[in-house]
Structure 1
Amino acid sequence: MVSALGDDVWWYDLRGVNAYLVDDGGTLTLVDAGNPWDGRTLMLGIEDAGYALQDLDRILLTHYDFDHVGALGRLPGLDATVYVGQGDAPFVTGERTPPLRNHKGLLQRVLGPVLKAPELPVETVADGDEIGSFTAYHTPGHTPGHVVYVSEALSVAFLGDLVVESNGALQTSPWLLSYDADEVEESIRELVGQMPRVEIVGMGHGVPFRHGGSERLDVLAKAL
Protein backbone atom coordinates (compact mmCIF):
# COMPACT_ATOMS: atom_id res chain seq x y z
CA MET A 1 0.00 0.00 0.00
CA VAL A 2 2.97 2.31 0.62
CA SER A 3 6.46 2.36 -0.87
CA ALA A 4 9.53 3.42 1.11
CA LEU A 5 11.31 6.49 -0.27
CA GLY A 6 13.89 6.61 2.52
CA ASP A 7 14.23 6.06 6.23
CA ASP A 8 10.84 6.84 7.82
CA VAL A 9 9.37 8.26 4.57
CA TRP A 10 6.71 6.44 2.55
CA TRP A 11 4.83 7.18 -0.67
CA TYR A 12 1.16 6.51 -1.46
CA ASP A 13 0.45 6.16 -5.18
CA LEU A 14 -3.27 6.96 -5.21
CA ARG A 15 -3.90 6.49 -8.94
CA GLY A 16 -3.10 9.92 -10.28
CA VAL A 17 -2.29 11.77 -7.07
CA ASN A 18 0.23 11.19 -4.29
CA ALA A 19 0.20 11.35 -0.51
CA TYR A 20 3.06 10.67 1.88
CA LEU A 21 3.61 9.24 5.35
CA VAL A 22 6.50 10.30 7.58
CA ASP A 23 7.74 9.26 11.00
CA ASP A 24 9.16 12.62 12.05
CA GLY A 25 11.15 11.71 15.12
CA GLY A 26 8.27 9.72 16.57
CA THR A 27 5.50 12.03 15.32
CA LEU A 28 3.55 10.23 12.62
CA THR A 29 2.69 12.67 9.85
CA LEU A 30 0.49 12.39 6.77
CA VAL A 31 1.25 14.79 3.92
CA ASP A 32 -1.92 15.46 1.90
CA ALA A 33 -5.00 13.26 1.97
CA GLY A 34 -5.93 12.18 -1.54
CA ASN A 35 -9.43 11.96 -2.98
CA PRO A 36 -12.65 11.37 -1.02
CA TRP A 37 -12.55 7.67 -1.90
CA ASP A 38 -8.93 7.18 -0.73
CA GLY A 39 -9.65 6.99 3.01
CA ARG A 40 -9.42 3.20 3.25
CA THR A 41 -6.21 3.15 1.22
CA LEU A 42 -4.66 5.74 3.50
CA MET A 43 -5.58 3.72 6.59
CA LEU A 44 -4.25 0.47 5.11
CA GLY A 45 -1.02 2.21 4.15
CA ILE A 46 -0.50 3.37 7.71
CA GLU A 47 -0.91 -0.22 8.86
CA ASP A 48 1.43 -1.41 6.11
CA ALA A 49 4.12 0.90 7.50
CA GLY A 50 3.67 -0.66 10.94
CA TYR A 51 1.37 1.87 12.60
CA ALA A 52 -2.32 2.35 13.36
CA LEU A 53 -4.58 5.24 12.37
CA GLN A 54 -4.66 6.29 16.02
CA ASP A 55 -0.88 6.84 15.85
CA LEU A 56 -1.31 9.62 13.30
CA ASP A 57 -0.46 12.90 15.03
CA ARG A 58 -0.67 15.52 12.29
CA ILE A 59 -1.59 16.14 8.67
CA LEU A 60 0.37 18.60 6.58
CA LEU A 61 -1.66 19.91 3.65
CA THR A 62 0.28 21.45 0.80
CA HIS A 63 -2.91 23.10 -0.45
CA TYR A 64 -6.67 22.91 -0.83
CA ASP A 65 -7.74 20.82 -3.79
CA PHE A 66 -10.28 18.02 -4.22
CA ASP A 67 -7.53 15.41 -4.66
CA HIS A 68 -5.39 16.60 -1.73
CA VAL A 69 -7.96 17.08 1.04
CA GLY A 70 -10.65 14.64 -0.10
CA ALA A 71 -10.26 11.94 2.55
CA LEU A 72 -9.80 14.33 5.49
CA GLY A 73 -13.40 14.00 6.62
CA ARG A 74 -13.50 10.27 5.92
CA LEU A 75 -10.99 8.82 8.37
CA PRO A 76 -13.13 7.57 11.28
CA GLY A 77 -11.55 7.77 14.69
CA LEU A 78 -8.77 10.08 13.58
CA ASP A 79 -7.44 12.48 16.23
CA ALA A 80 -4.83 14.67 14.54
CA THR A 81 -4.12 18.33 13.86
CA VAL A 82 -4.35 19.61 10.30
CA TYR A 83 -1.83 22.23 9.12
CA VAL A 84 -2.55 24.30 6.02
CA GLY A 85 -1.42 27.60 4.50
CA GLN A 86 -3.26 30.73 5.58
CA GLY A 87 -4.65 31.45 2.12
CA ASP A 88 -6.26 28.01 1.79
CA ALA A 89 -7.34 27.37 5.39
CA PRO A 90 -10.84 28.93 5.06
CA PHE A 91 -11.56 26.62 2.12
CA VAL A 92 -10.53 23.54 4.11
CA THR A 93 -12.70 24.47 7.11
CA GLY A 94 -15.64 25.51 4.91
CA GLU A 95 -15.65 29.08 6.26
CA ARG A 96 -15.23 30.42 2.72
CA THR A 97 -15.66 29.12 -0.80
CA PRO A 98 -13.11 29.60 -3.60
CA PRO A 99 -13.58 32.66 -5.82
CA LEU A 100 -15.63 32.37 -8.99
CA ARG A 101 -13.62 35.08 -10.74
CA ASN A 102 -10.60 32.77 -11.14
CA HIS A 103 -10.67 29.76 -13.48
CA LYS A 104 -9.01 27.53 -10.89
CA GLY A 105 -11.25 28.86 -8.13
CA LEU A 106 -14.28 28.10 -10.26
CA LEU A 107 -13.16 24.48 -10.62
CA GLN A 108 -12.64 24.23 -6.87
CA ARG A 109 -16.09 25.71 -6.26
CA VAL A 110 -17.74 23.14 -8.55
CA LEU A 111 -16.04 20.21 -6.78
CA GLY A 112 -16.44 21.63 -3.29
CA PRO A 113 -19.86 20.14 -2.45
CA VAL A 114 -18.39 16.63 -2.72
CA LEU A 115 -15.91 17.37 0.07
CA LYS A 116 -16.60 16.94 3.76
CA ALA A 117 -15.00 19.46 6.12
CA PRO A 118 -12.82 17.68 8.68
CA GLU A 119 -13.95 17.59 12.29
CA LEU A 120 -10.34 18.14 13.35
CA PRO A 121 -8.38 21.11 14.69
CA VAL A 122 -6.97 23.17 11.82
CA GLU A 123 -3.85 25.29 12.31
CA THR A 124 -2.79 27.90 9.75
CA VAL A 125 0.78 27.89 8.51
CA ALA A 126 2.82 30.96 7.54
CA ASP A 127 6.07 31.21 5.63
CA GLY A 128 8.96 30.05 7.81
CA ASP A 129 6.85 28.24 10.40
CA GLU A 130 8.39 25.10 11.86
CA ILE A 131 6.33 21.97 12.45
CA GLY A 132 8.51 19.26 13.93
CA SER A 133 11.56 18.96 11.68
CA PHE A 134 9.68 20.60 8.80
CA THR A 135 9.92 24.22 7.69
CA ALA A 136 6.99 25.63 5.74
CA TYR A 137 7.61 27.72 2.62
CA HIS A 138 4.74 29.80 1.29
CA THR A 139 4.72 29.07 -2.45
CA PRO A 140 1.59 30.68 -3.94
CA GLY A 141 0.49 30.35 -7.53
CA HIS A 142 -1.13 26.97 -7.82
CA THR A 143 -3.40 28.11 -4.98
CA PRO A 144 -3.20 31.25 -2.81
CA GLY A 145 -2.08 29.35 0.29
CA HIS A 146 0.10 26.67 -1.29
CA VAL A 147 2.86 25.48 1.06
CA VAL A 148 5.98 23.37 0.54
CA TYR A 149 7.26 21.41 3.55
CA VAL A 150 10.99 20.74 3.83
CA SER A 151 12.83 18.66 6.43
CA GLU A 152 16.60 19.00 6.31
CA ALA A 153 16.92 16.30 8.98
CA LEU A 154 15.04 13.79 6.83
CA SER A 155 16.43 15.23 3.56
CA VAL A 156 12.95 15.47 2.05
CA ALA A 157 10.78 18.15 0.46
CA PHE A 158 7.08 17.80 -0.23
CA LEU A 159 6.28 20.13 -3.12
CA GLY A 160 2.54 19.58 -3.54
CA ASP A 161 1.37 20.88 -6.91
CA LEU A 162 3.96 23.63 -7.25
CA VAL A 163 5.54 21.26 -9.77
CA VAL A 164 4.64 18.00 -11.51
CA GLU A 165 6.87 15.12 -12.61
CA SER A 166 6.78 14.01 -16.23
CA ASN A 167 9.18 11.59 -17.93
CA GLY A 168 11.74 11.92 -15.17
CA ALA A 169 11.81 15.72 -15.08
CA LEU A 170 10.02 18.44 -13.14
CA GLN A 171 7.64 20.88 -14.80
CA THR A 172 5.71 23.84 -13.45
CA SER A 173 2.10 23.51 -12.43
CA PRO A 174 0.13 24.16 -15.66
CA TRP A 175 -1.86 27.36 -16.20
CA LEU A 176 -5.18 25.55 -16.42
CA LEU A 177 -4.80 24.12 -12.90
CA SER A 178 -3.24 27.17 -11.23
CA TYR A 179 -4.54 30.47 -9.92
CA ASP A 180 -1.53 32.32 -11.33
CA ALA A 181 1.09 30.59 -13.52
CA ASP A 182 3.54 33.51 -13.31
CA GLU A 183 3.37 33.35 -9.54
CA VAL A 184 4.10 29.61 -9.70
CA GLU A 185 7.36 30.31 -11.52
CA GLU A 186 8.35 33.04 -9.06
CA SER A 187 7.62 30.70 -6.14
CA ILE A 188 9.87 28.02 -7.66
CA ARG A 189 12.76 30.44 -8.09
CA GLU A 190 12.41 31.77 -4.55
CA LEU A 191 12.11 28.27 -3.07
CA VAL A 192 15.29 27.05 -4.75
CA GLY A 193 17.16 30.01 -3.31
CA GLN A 194 15.87 29.49 0.23
CA MET A 195 15.44 25.80 1.04
CA PRO A 196 18.23 23.46 2.19
CA ARG A 197 19.53 20.75 -0.11
CA VAL A 198 17.54 17.51 -0.01
CA GLU A 199 17.67 14.12 -1.68
CA ILE A 200 14.00 13.08 -1.63
CA VAL A 201 11.43 15.18 -3.47
CA GLY A 202 7.75 14.27 -3.42
CA MET A 203 5.24 16.08 -5.60
CA GLY A 204 1.49 15.76 -5.84
CA HIS A 205 1.51 14.21 -9.30
CA GLY A 206 4.09 11.99 -10.93
CA VAL A 207 6.81 9.74 -9.55
CA PRO A 208 8.79 11.14 -6.59
CA PHE A 209 12.58 11.21 -6.62
CA ARG A 210 14.55 9.25 -4.04
CA HIS A 211 17.85 10.92 -4.90
CA GLY A 212 19.01 14.24 -6.36
CA GLY A 213 15.83 16.14 -5.56
CA SER A 214 17.45 19.55 -5.18
CA GLU A 215 19.39 19.11 -8.41
CA ARG A 216 16.14 18.44 -10.27
CA LEU A 217 14.64 21.61 -8.85
CA ASP A 218 17.74 23.56 -9.86
CA VAL A 219 17.34 22.42 -13.46
CA LEU A 220 13.72 23.56 -13.55
CA ALA A 221 14.43 26.92 -11.92
CA LYS A 222 17.24 27.70 -14.38
CA ALA A 223 14.92 26.94 -17.31
CA LEU A 224 12.24 29.41 -16.22
Structure 2
Amino acid sequence: MTTQRDVLVLDVQNHPVQTPVSSAYRSNMQFARLRHHDFCDAQLADTQFNLADLVRAQLSGANLQRANFHRARLNRVAAVAADFRDANLNQAQCDGADFTNADLSGANLSQAQFCGAILVDASLFGVRSNQSAHPARQQLNFTGADLRGADLRDADLRNATLTDAQLQGARYNAGTLWPLGWNSADHGLIFDDHLLAREVAC
Protein backbone atom coordinates (compact mmCIF):
# COMPACT_ATOMS: atom_id res chain seq x y z
CA MET A 1 0.00 0.00 0.00
CA THR A 2 1.33 3.44 -0.89
CA THR A 3 1.48 5.76 2.11
CA GLN A 4 1.19 9.53 2.17
CA ARG A 5 4.96 9.79 2.77
CA ASP A 6 5.72 7.59 -0.26
CA VAL A 7 3.64 9.76 -2.55
CA LEU A 8 5.16 12.98 -1.27
CA VAL A 9 8.72 11.69 -1.82
CA LEU A 10 7.87 10.71 -5.39
CA ASP A 11 6.51 14.20 -6.02
CA VAL A 12 9.52 16.01 -4.58
CA GLN A 13 11.96 13.95 -6.64
CA ASN A 14 9.78 14.44 -9.75
CA HIS A 15 9.89 10.75 -10.56
CA PRO A 16 6.86 9.13 -12.21
CA VAL A 17 4.93 6.68 -10.03
CA GLN A 18 5.42 3.16 -11.40
CA THR A 19 3.39 0.86 -9.11
CA PRO A 20 -0.40 0.67 -8.75
CA VAL A 21 -1.77 2.83 -5.96
CA SER A 22 -4.52 1.24 -3.87
CA SER A 23 -4.80 3.98 -1.27
CA ALA A 24 -3.44 7.52 -1.06
CA TYR A 25 -6.11 9.19 1.05
CA ARG A 26 -5.48 12.92 1.49
CA SER A 27 -2.08 12.65 -0.18
CA ASN A 28 -0.25 15.26 -2.23
CA MET A 29 0.24 14.34 -5.89
CA GLN A 30 0.33 17.86 -7.28
CA PHE A 31 2.60 18.24 -10.32
CA ALA A 32 3.07 14.43 -10.41
CA ARG A 33 3.62 12.62 -13.73
CA LEU A 34 1.01 9.85 -13.67
CA ARG A 35 0.39 9.08 -17.34
CA HIS A 36 -1.14 5.63 -17.93
CA HIS A 37 -1.02 4.93 -14.19
CA ASP A 38 -3.43 2.40 -12.66
CA PHE A 39 -5.65 3.89 -9.93
CA CYS A 40 -8.60 1.53 -10.51
CA ASP A 41 -10.74 1.15 -7.36
CA ALA A 42 -8.19 3.16 -5.35
CA GLN A 43 -9.13 5.18 -2.26
CA LEU A 44 -8.07 8.71 -3.23
CA ALA A 45 -10.55 10.95 -1.44
CA ASP A 46 -9.24 14.46 -0.66
CA THR A 47 -6.04 13.85 -2.65
CA GLN A 48 -4.28 16.83 -4.26
CA PHE A 49 -3.86 16.28 -8.02
CA ASN A 50 -3.63 19.93 -9.04
CA LEU A 51 -1.42 20.41 -12.12
CA ALA A 52 -0.77 16.65 -12.26
CA ASP A 53 -0.39 14.84 -15.60
CA LEU A 54 -2.91 11.98 -15.59
CA VAL A 55 -3.25 11.52 -19.36
CA ARG A 56 -4.69 8.05 -20.12
CA ALA A 57 -4.60 7.06 -16.45
CA GLN A 58 -6.95 4.34 -15.19
CA LEU A 59 -9.36 5.78 -12.61
CA SER A 60 -12.34 3.46 -13.03
CA GLY A 61 -14.09 2.71 -9.75
CA ALA A 62 -11.79 5.02 -7.78
CA ASN A 63 -13.01 7.04 -4.81
CA LEU A 64 -12.02 10.62 -5.67
CA GLN A 65 -14.46 12.50 -3.48
CA ARG A 66 -13.34 16.08 -2.81
CA ALA A 67 -10.08 15.49 -4.71
CA ASN A 68 -8.45 18.58 -6.19
CA PHE A 69 -7.80 18.37 -9.95
CA HIS A 70 -7.28 22.10 -10.53
CA ARG A 71 -5.56 22.50 -13.93
CA ALA A 72 -4.79 18.77 -14.04
CA ARG A 73 -4.47 16.93 -17.36
CA LEU A 74 -7.09 14.17 -17.48
CA ASN A 75 -7.23 13.76 -21.25
CA ARG A 76 -8.45 10.28 -22.27
CA VAL A 77 -8.54 8.91 -18.73
CA ALA A 78 -10.77 5.89 -18.10
CA ALA A 79 -12.94 6.90 -15.14
CA VAL A 80 -15.91 4.54 -15.51
CA ALA A 81 -18.07 4.52 -12.36
CA ALA A 82 -15.51 6.67 -10.52
CA ASP A 83 -16.67 8.82 -7.60
CA PHE A 84 -15.85 12.51 -8.15
CA ARG A 85 -18.47 13.90 -5.76
CA ASP A 86 -17.60 17.45 -4.66
CA ALA A 87 -14.25 17.25 -6.47
CA ASN A 88 -12.55 20.36 -7.83
CA LEU A 89 -12.07 20.07 -11.61
CA ASN A 90 -11.60 23.79 -12.14
CA GLN A 91 -9.69 24.29 -15.44
CA ALA A 92 -9.06 20.54 -15.74
CA GLN A 93 -8.39 19.13 -19.22
CA CYS A 94 -10.71 16.14 -19.68
CA ASP A 95 -10.95 15.95 -23.49
CA GLY A 96 -11.74 12.45 -24.74
CA ALA A 97 -12.06 11.03 -21.21
CA ASP A 98 -14.52 8.25 -20.36
CA PHE A 99 -16.73 9.15 -17.39
CA THR A 100 -19.45 6.59 -18.15
CA ASN A 101 -21.63 6.11 -15.06
CA ALA A 102 -19.28 8.29 -12.99
CA ASP A 103 -20.63 10.43 -10.14
CA LEU A 104 -19.61 14.09 -10.43
CA SER A 105 -22.39 15.40 -8.17
CA GLY A 106 -21.55 18.78 -6.69
CA ALA A 107 -18.20 18.99 -8.49
CA ASN A 108 -16.68 22.33 -9.50
CA LEU A 109 -16.38 22.19 -13.30
CA SER A 110 -15.54 25.86 -13.84
CA GLN A 111 -13.63 26.27 -17.14
CA ALA A 112 -13.07 22.50 -17.40
CA GLN A 113 -12.71 21.04 -20.90
CA PHE A 114 -14.73 17.92 -21.77
CA CYS A 115 -14.50 18.06 -25.58
CA GLY A 116 -15.42 14.65 -26.99
CA ALA A 117 -15.67 13.16 -23.50
CA ILE A 118 -18.05 10.30 -22.72
CA LEU A 119 -20.42 11.02 -19.83
CA VAL A 120 -23.15 8.48 -20.62
CA ASP A 121 -25.36 7.91 -17.54
CA ALA A 122 -23.01 10.05 -15.45
CA SER A 123 -24.36 12.12 -12.57
CA LEU A 124 -23.69 15.84 -12.88
CA PHE A 125 -26.29 16.65 -10.25
CA GLY A 126 -25.63 20.10 -8.80
CA VAL A 127 -22.34 20.70 -10.61
CA ARG A 128 -21.01 24.27 -10.59
CA SER A 129 -19.39 26.26 -13.39
CA ASN A 130 -18.48 29.82 -12.52
CA GLN A 131 -17.71 32.26 -15.30
CA SER A 132 -14.10 33.31 -15.72
CA ALA A 133 -13.33 36.96 -15.11
CA HIS A 134 -10.68 36.69 -17.83
CA PRO A 135 -12.34 37.28 -21.25
CA ALA A 136 -9.77 35.20 -23.14
CA ARG A 137 -10.14 32.14 -20.90
CA GLN A 138 -12.42 29.31 -22.03
CA GLN A 139 -15.53 28.40 -20.08
CA LEU A 140 -16.88 24.92 -19.27
CA ASN A 141 -16.74 23.11 -22.61
CA PHE A 142 -18.79 20.03 -23.55
CA THR A 143 -18.30 20.39 -27.32
CA GLY A 144 -18.94 17.01 -28.94
CA ALA A 145 -19.38 15.30 -25.55
CA ASP A 146 -21.72 12.33 -25.11
CA LEU A 147 -24.09 13.17 -22.24
CA ARG A 148 -26.84 10.71 -23.11
CA GLY A 149 -28.74 9.63 -20.01
CA ALA A 150 -26.74 11.95 -17.75
CA ASP A 151 -28.30 13.47 -14.64
CA LEU A 152 -28.20 17.25 -15.12
CA ARG A 153 -30.64 18.15 -12.36
CA ASP A 154 -29.70 21.31 -10.46
CA ALA A 155 -26.59 21.63 -12.66
CA ASP A 156 -25.33 25.16 -13.33
CA LEU A 157 -24.56 25.10 -17.04
CA ARG A 158 -25.05 28.81 -17.73
CA ASN A 159 -21.43 29.20 -18.81
CA ALA A 160 -21.16 25.88 -20.64
CA THR A 161 -20.57 25.31 -24.35
CA LEU A 162 -22.79 22.44 -25.54
CA THR A 163 -22.08 22.57 -29.28
CA ASP A 164 -22.68 19.15 -30.91
CA ALA A 165 -23.13 17.51 -27.50
CA GLN A 166 -25.37 14.43 -27.41
CA LEU A 167 -28.03 14.92 -24.74
CA GLN A 168 -30.74 12.42 -25.60
CA GLY A 169 -32.34 11.01 -22.47
CA ALA A 170 -30.41 13.29 -20.13
CA ARG A 171 -32.50 14.42 -17.16
CA TYR A 172 -32.97 17.98 -15.96
CA ASN A 173 -35.28 19.82 -13.58
CA ALA A 174 -36.44 23.32 -12.72
CA GLY A 175 -33.12 23.89 -10.96
CA THR A 176 -31.02 23.20 -14.06
CA LEU A 177 -29.51 26.44 -15.36
CA TRP A 178 -28.88 26.56 -19.13
CA PRO A 179 -26.84 28.88 -21.36
CA LEU A 180 -28.65 31.97 -22.59
CA GLY A 181 -31.01 31.06 -25.44
CA TRP A 182 -30.74 27.30 -24.85
CA ASN A 183 -33.92 25.33 -25.59
CA SER A 184 -33.90 21.97 -23.84
CA ALA A 185 -36.89 20.79 -25.90
CA ASP A 186 -34.71 20.64 -29.02
CA HIS A 187 -32.30 18.04 -27.66
CA GLY A 188 -34.35 15.08 -26.45
CA LEU A 189 -33.89 15.81 -22.75
CA ILE A 190 -36.24 14.48 -20.07
CA PHE A 191 -37.76 16.77 -17.45
CA ASP A 192 -37.47 14.99 -14.08
CA ASP A 193 -38.35 16.89 -10.93
CA HIS A 194 -38.43 13.89 -8.59
CA LEU A 195 -36.56 14.36 -5.33
CA LEU A 196 -33.40 12.38 -4.71
CA ALA A 197 -33.13 10.28 -1.55
CA ARG A 198 -30.51 12.67 -0.13
CA GLU A 199 -32.81 15.64 -0.72
CA VAL A 200 -35.64 13.94 1.15
CA ALA A 201 -33.25 13.17 4.03
CA CYS A 202 -32.39 16.87 4.33
TM-score by length of 2: 0.30
Higher-strand-fraction structure: 1
TM-score by length of 1: 0.28
Higher-helix-fraction structure: 1
Kindly name which structure, 1 or 2, has the bigger radius of gyration based on alpha carbons: 2
Greater relative contact order: 1 or 2 (C-alpha under 8 angstroms, separation 6 or more)? 1
